[in-house]
Amino acid sequence: MKLNRRALTGSSLAILAVLLIAVLVLANLLLRGVRLDLTENRLYTLSEGTRKVLSEIPEPINLYFYFSDRGTGELPVVRNYATRVREMLEEMAARSNGKLRLSVIDPLPFSEDEDMASGYGLQAVPTGATGETIFFGLAGTNSTDGQSVIPFFQPDKEAFLEYDVVKLIHSLVVGKKPVVGVISGLSMAGGFDAATRQTRDAWAVYQELGDMFDLRLINGDATTTIDAEIETLILVHPKGLSEDLQYAIDQFVMRGGRLAIFVDPNAEMDQSGNDMEDPNMARFASKASDLPALFKGWGIEYDPGKVVLDAGNALPVQVSPSAPPVRHLAILGLGKESLNGEERATAQLTNLNFATTGQFKLAEDATLKLVPLVQSSGNSMLEPVERIKFEQDPSRLFDGFAAGNEHLVLAGRLDGKLKTAFPQRSGAEHLAESREDVHILLVADTDVLTDRLWVQVQNFFGQRIANAFANNGDFVINSVDNLAGSSALIGIRGRASSARPFTTVEAIKRQADQSSRLKEQELQQELDETERKLTELQRGKDAESAMIMSAEQQAEVLKFQAQKLQIRKDLRQVRRQLDADIERLGNWLKWFNILFVPKLLILAAIGFYFWRKRKSATL
């Protein structure tokens, strides 16, 4: 009997083992590729735009992730971020249907892998006094010898990690520079200046755009069509564009073309009214630009006769060499609080300079969504452009200034379905509505493009050296680069950081630091008071006894030393209390996880059992 029982027990265990293996094999087959993202901000869930780019890869792309694993043993921040990067690359490879081939490489010093990383253009970053360098970048190649790299993954740019990687993949799919057309009412490209009879260099931002894109300058006065090769169109200070050309721009956007518009109530580089015989004519000439037909048809409200005055961002200007600088309400220095931190074009910028800028808002019947990129402070208002043009003293702009307590949109992006601004037109190729969501960049200032507001360009032995003091160029390049990419790229937003700080611990530290600073200030006040008393006692002495401390002075010094020791003791007590509070919190969490969490799970299981039992009984 015992033998049979043992045999039965052994057979049962064998059957259970076979069933377990069968279940594991079946689960591996049926649930392959299934993932569940339970993070708060869904860090490991690819955006819709990313999945679209991955689904459109025509041929295999090789990705080489170079990370110096051995060289970063003492860099936990870098290692944690490297894990985040690798996991995202692995997720993209898994979702690409085999079109992305990922290789993870640790380039050891003096190895062929290190030479390959340097050959791709990855950046070797020194990590210490020993001169040892590490690699932490990505290289990609396609089947036509195309290459693209991310030289080094910077942890402070984690919010746009997905965007940067997808942009690299998309550039390998496209394989050529995007074609960008420019229609400009200003002399951005340089050339001969009739007013000064000299040759002028191209603006720095125009040169940078030419380095990144296939830039094509279009004469707006001599054309009524947009070339089919142009993927992105930039309008700078459009004045007097023909209706046919505006219709061509409208249909260009309807067909999926990207558009960037820079208009201005008062463009400083506008040469309108310049007359050698009467220089004052330029002051009275209109230097405003507008697209009234397109803006009205698209549901955009923009007044070329109004300028934004902003007391919260006004920059000081030097009106006279003999007078101090004066804050100019129409010349604005916009910091991070005025920039959209969730958009790729502005998230990493720190300051932009605008001058005599206008503002945009949507009409009530608009079908598009306006995403603000740059906004004024709440301490701003609109003022007629004539007052700014003819006011010689900027300080007088404060007269009558009344803030509207509203953040005005100085630059933004339009997204969504768009209806044509020319519904009265027709034809075989006429589109009444856009095929897909449109993407239009709006900037109510052209001065933002000029060199004087963001860069100093110097000639150094025949080479132009540009020293930027503001991020205007970065803003323009980022914006156009975002437009010129895939529509899926434009839809990828910044993500939250994977770092999850212990907010309670940080609050304890802040409170302790505040207490410590108060104690230090108290100590410094006591020191200052003691020095003052010693100085007063010293004043009454003659030259012979000046170097000898009196009994009163000695008493003051001893009193201060005792107080100093007591305050320092209090400071140490604050620090000890900080450590004790953090340790107490850690112990509480530890015991809660050890004792209470299992009990809660057991109680939940018991409750579920009785619920199922009661439900079965009722049936």
User: pLDDT digits over 115-151, tens only?
Assistant: 999 999 998 888 766 668 899 999 999 988 888 899 9
105, 139, 172: which is the final residue of a domain?
172
* 22 and 110 share one domain: no
DSSP assignment letter at 433: B
The rounded distance, in Å, linking the Cα atoms of 409 and 302 is 10
With tokens 């009467």, the residue in question is 278
* 152 and 191 share one domain: no
* 294 and 312 share one domain: yes
* 337 and 203 share one domain: yes
pLDDT tens per residue, range 310-350 = 999 999 988 877 778 899 999 999 999 999 988 888 988 89
* 223 and 147 share one domain: no
The rounded distance, in Å, linking the Cα atoms of 389 and 305 is 11
pLDDT tens per residue, range 302-315 = 999 999 999 999 99
Range among 194-203, 424-433, 569-578 rated most confident = 424-433
Range among 42-46, 340-344, 524-528 rated most confident = 340-344
* 429 and 568 share one domain: no
| 8 A C-beta contact, residue 300 and residue 315 | no
Give the pLDDT confidence score for residue 71 in this predicted structure: 85
Beta strand pairing status for 300-301 and 306-310?
A: unpaired
List, as own/partner pairs, every contact residues 578-581 make where C-beta atoms lie below 8 angstroms and the sequence separation is at least 24, other chains included. 578/508, 578/509, 578/512, 581/508, 581/512
172, 192, 223: which is the final residue of a domain?
172
Q: Please check whether residue 347 lies inside any domain of the structure.
A: yes
**CA dist list (Å): 184 to 260, 543, 591:** 12, 80, 69
User: Order of strands, edge to edge, in the sheet holding 214-218?
Assistant: 214-218, 179-184, 232-236, 258-262, 438-443, 409-416, 369-375
In the predicted model, what is the mean pLDDT of residues 598-618? 75
Of the ranges 233-247, 253-267, 350-364, 472-486, which one carries the lowest mean pLDDT score? 472-486
Radius of gyration of the chain (CA): 34
Q: How confident is the model at residue 461 (pLDDT cuts 50, 70, 90)?
A: low
Q: Please check whether residue 43 lies inside any domain of the structure.
A: no
Whichever domain contains 220, its CATH number is 3.40.50
Q: Please check whether residue 497 lies inside any domain of the structure.
A: no
pLDDT tens per residue, range 17-26 = 777 787 777 7
Percent of the chain with pLDDT over 90: 37
Give the pLDDT confidence score for residue 504 in this predicted structure: 59
Q: Please check whether residue 565 lies inside any domain of the structure.
A: yes
Give the pLDDT confidence score for residue 496 in this predicted structure: 46
Distance, CA of 178 to chain centre: 22
In the predicted model, what is the mean pLDDT of residues 58-86? 90
**Average pLDDT of the chain?**
81
| 8 A C-beta contact, residue 565 and residue 506 | no
* 235 and 372 share one domain: yes
117 lies in which domain range?
48-172
* 441 and 560 share one domain: no
| 8 A C-beta contact, residue 397 and residue 328 | yes
Percent of the chain with pLDDT over 70: 73
- Which residues 6+ apart lie within 8 Å of 534 measured at CB? 553, 556, 557
Q: Please check whether residue 359 lies inside any domain of the structure.
A: yes
Counting Cα atoms < 13 Å in the Cβ hemisphere of 321 gives 0
Q: Residue 193 above 80 pLDDT?
A: no
* 11 and 69 share one domain: no
Counting Cα atoms < 13 Å in the Cβ hemisphere of 296 gives 8
List 459's β-bridge partners, or say none.
464
In the predicted model, what is the mean pLDDT of residues 244-268? 94
* 448 and 515 share one domain: no
Give the pLDDT confidence score for residue 498 in this predicted structure: 47
- Domains of the chain: total: 4
**CA dist list (Å): 176 to 59, 234, 601:** 16, 19, 57
Name the residue with higher pLDDT: 500 or 193: 193
Q: What angle do CA 207, 209, 210 make, to 5 degrees?
A: 65
Name the residue with higher pLDDT: 28 or 32: 28
Whichever domain contains 112, its CATH number is 3.40.30.10
pLDDT tens per residue, range 87-104 = 889 989 988 889 999 999
**CA dist list (Å): 600 to 156, 261, 597, 612:** 39, 60, 5, 18
Whose CA is closest to 96, among 169, 176, 174, 172? Answer: 169
